[in-house]
Every structure is written in C-alpha cells, then in structure tokens.
Amino acid sequence: MHAITRRTFLRTFAASGGLALGIGLAGCGQGQSATGPTSAPPSPPPLARLIVKGPSGLPSIPLARLAQDETLRASVGDIDFSTWANPDQLRADVVAGALHLTATPTNVAATLYRRGIPLRLLNVTVWGILHLLSTNPTIEGWDDLRGQTIAVPLKGDMPDIVFRTLAKANGLDTERDLTLRYVSSMVEAQQLLLAGQVQIAQLGEPAATGAQLQGKQNNVEVRRVLNMQEEWGRATGRPPRIPMAGTLAVNSLVEQHPEVVIAAQDGLKRAVEWVRQNPEEAGQLGEQYLGGLKAPVIARALPNVPLEFVTAADARPELEFFFTRLKALSPDLIGGDLPDAEFYYP
C-alpha cells in the first residue's frame, strides 16, 4: 500500500493544471475575459484507487461490504480495504494522507479536524457497542462499583471516555472510588475477565458476546451488568444511543472526486442495512478483519449493536451534545473545542 505523500500530491496538483487555482477563479467571469473566451478548468482524472481503512472491530464490517459495492466500483478503478490496529495508527494514516475513507471514533475525527487535518465527517453508523460485564454476582449497578477494579481498554479513547463520562454522571470519582486497569485492547480486557484477574470489564461488541460464550464453555458466568447506551440515555435524558463511530473522508477526495463520496455515502447506507438484515453473512465477512473472532460470535453480537446510517449533517445535534459532554470531561478529547460547521458533510 502506497501512502499519499506531499510529493505525490504536488505532482498530482501540477498534472491537473492548477485545479485549485482554477476553482478559486471560477465564477469571476461568465465565458468572456479581457483577452477572449475563458476555458473551464480541467477536471481531475477518475480516481484510480480508493483506499479505505477501518478498525479491527464492528465498524469495519459495513466498510468491507462497501468495498464490494458495484455502484461504488463503477466510480473508481480499484478499492483497497484494510484495517488499522489501533487509534494511534489511524491518526498517523490520516495525517500522512495514507487513506481516503476510514471508519473512526467520532471524537477522533473531531480532534484531527480541530488540529488542522483537512477532513470531513461523512456520517455516523455505529451508535454504541459498549457493555460492562462482570463475573461477580453481587455487582448490579453503579453503586456496586465502588472499591472495585475494572479493566478498561484504550485509555483516552472511546471505551475509556464513555466509562468515565457515565461514572461521573452517576456520582463516582474514577480516581478516588475506582481502580481502572487500562489495557491495550478489548481482547486483553476479555482475557483478564475470563482468567479471573479482574471481576469487571468494559467490553465492546463482539468481545462482550465472545466473553459470555467462552465463559459458558468454562463454567464461568459472565453477566452484562450495564448497557452503556442505555446508561447514556438515563444520564442525559436523551435517546439510549451514543454517536460513537462513523466515516471520515480526507478533503482531497471530497473536493476532487465528489462523485466518489456520493457513491460511498449511498453504498454505506446500503451496507449498514445489509449488515442488519444478514448477521450470519456479515459475520462471515467480519471474520476476515476482526482480529481472529469467528463468524458465529460476530453474528451473535450484531443484534446487540445499534447500527444506523445517519449523515453527519443530520447527526450534528447529537454529535454536538456528545462533544459538549466530552469537553466537560477534558477538552483534549475533542481537540480543544467543538468542530465548526465545515466538519459535517455535506
């Protein structure tokens, strides 16, 4: 896979005959100038290769389906889909221009945008995957967490952010009342729970379903204690869903190949609906990308995930409410402040 470097961009810019300058001047005259008729700026050539990436998690299943979409394939020469290992790799790829489209936690997209990375959020597709699970039969709710050790994946990213936001809303100080054992992945948190090294873990799907199935095989009862999406609704008085993940596009794709973005949006809408309607087939597709999880586990997990395609513009009120809560927790979680209107496509 070849990264889109600054040098490559400049060569493309030069080959396009100064496309950006042409666009900037368009509309200054209507077909005539002091020296004669003007010509339209040259259009960029069709996109030869669309680079699409996603996490080793559920948000990648609609993207993997999108990579098979015939309508989108008619707009580009080739589609290259792969997964990134962690949010740090995602950030590096976006900054380096090594992708066109990617599934992303919504706050990561906002942070990159606020830091000056030219991108647009296209949509929200995943409205929550997080659950608190326990092997301790006495744990029933927030008050029972006092004094407990909880495995939480990905410090500073979405699982940690949601847990700390809701813990605070339920009167818990995560530094004084709890011991948070941060781990590098959902799989690690799942393993700690099943090995008895912790009795409580925050897990996303499909790791949560996988923990319950493996626990049953090992005669260990793993219970879902808190559905974080429902807890969000209770704590905020809003619908029981969190605008957790969506799709971003780099500005060069939006500006130079708007037809590809439109086709991708339409394709993702179809892909999300296909995943919802075909969990077994979606599980088989996801097995290729979700870090060794098997298709039956993924298929069992999908009904626990609220999937819905909503354009970024339509999701903006819920996103801004979510970002405001994150800012109150720590402004760094969204890059300092809420993104402006240009962040939300179209």
pLDDT in tens, 151-169: 999 998 899 999 999 999 9
Q: Give the pLDDT mean for 93-98.
A: 88
Domain definitions of the chain by residue range: 50-127+243-343, 130-236
Q: Give the pLDDT mean for 133-141.
A: 97
More confident call, 99 vs 15: 99
pLDDT in tens, 230-289: 999 999 999 999 999 999 999 999 999 999 999 999 999 999 999 999 999 999 999 998
Q: Looking at the domain covering 50-127+243-343, what would its CATH class be?
A: alpha beta
Task: Report yes or no: 245 and 128 within 8 Å, Cβ to Cβ.
Answer: no
User: Would you say residue 2 has pLDDT above 50?
Assistant: no
- What is residue 41's predicted lDDT score, i.e. its pLDDT? 60
Are 50-127+243-343 and 130-236 equal in CATH topology? yes
For the entire predicted model, the pTM comes to: 0.84
- What is residue 91's predicted lDDT score, i.e. its pLDDT? 85
Check: CATH 3.40.190.10 for 130-236? yes
Report the first-to-last Cα separation within the chain, whole angstroms.
29
User: Would you say residue 299 has pLDDT above 50?
Assistant: yes
Q: Categorize the per-residue pLDDT at 38 as very low, low, confident or very high, splitting at 50, 70 and 90.
A: low
What mean pLDDT value characterizes the chain? 88
Most confident segment among 27-31, 44-48, 279-283, 326-330: 279-283
**Distant-in-sequence, close-in-space partners of 120: CB < 8 Å, separation ≥ 6:** 248, 249, 251, 254, 312, 342, 343, 344, 345
- What is residue 97's predicted lDDT score, i.e. its pLDDT? 86
pLDDT in tens, 173-232: 999 999 999 999 999 999 999 999 999 999 999 999 999 999 999 999 999 999 999 999
